Amino acid sequence: MLDAEEVRTFVQGTVHFFETATGHPATVGSPYLCIDKSAVVQDYAGVIGISGNREGKVYFTAPRGMLSVMLMCMNETDTGEQNVRDLVGEVANTISGNARRDFGRNFVISTPTICDRTNASTAAATTGRSFVIPINWRSYAANVVVCLQ
């Protein structure tokens, strides 16, 4: 299970991503422990598998509207399905990649699996306790979910 410093790694990585990529800061709500094993999923999720000295998943999940506005803030005019899917994967990959700096080279991350509501619950389901990190950006709410053994 994660300790407070490890959760902070994901919080800082998320805040840094939003500030750098969109030019608009995100605020983070209080992380909480999700005890049931059902996935916390919005319209899209980018799921990263973790292996090495830690096992589990990290995923970023957000509503389509938020992802579209993020793309526009990044000067991308094409807010179609493929770009939205690419963005949710990029966010998950960047947050996990930044965490790798703190966790070390034995924190191995997979390429992102991109999900929508039709398959996200299966892909994002965890086998242990997950920490949900609420992300607020502009008028939107998203989550980073971390489940590491």
Question: What proportion of the chain, given as a percentage, has pLDDT over 90?
Answer: 60
Q: Which residue range(s) make up the domain with 49? A: 4-148
**53 CB-side CA count, 13 A:** 7
Pairing status of strand 113-116 against strand 107-109:
unpaired
Pairing status of strand 130-137 against strand 140-148:
antiparallel
**Prediction pTM value:** 0.91
Instruction: Report the alpha-carbon distance of residue 43 to residue 62 in Å, rounded.
Output: 6
Whether the Cβ atoms of residue 140 and residue 66 lie closer than 8 Å to each other = yes
pLDDT in tens, 92-126: 999 998 898 888 889 999 999 998 888 766 666 66
pLDDT band for position 73 (cuts 50, 70, 90): very high
CATH no. for residue 73?
A: 3.40.1550.10
Give the pLDDT of residue 122: 65
36 Cα distance to chain centroid: 19
Give the pLDDT of residue 84: 97
pLDDT in tens, 15-36: 999 999 999 999 999 998 887 6
Closest residue by Cα to residue 92 from 74, 69, 110: 110
Q: How many domains does the chain have?
A: 1
Whether the Cβ atoms of residue 45 and residue 115 lie closer than 8 Å to each other = yes
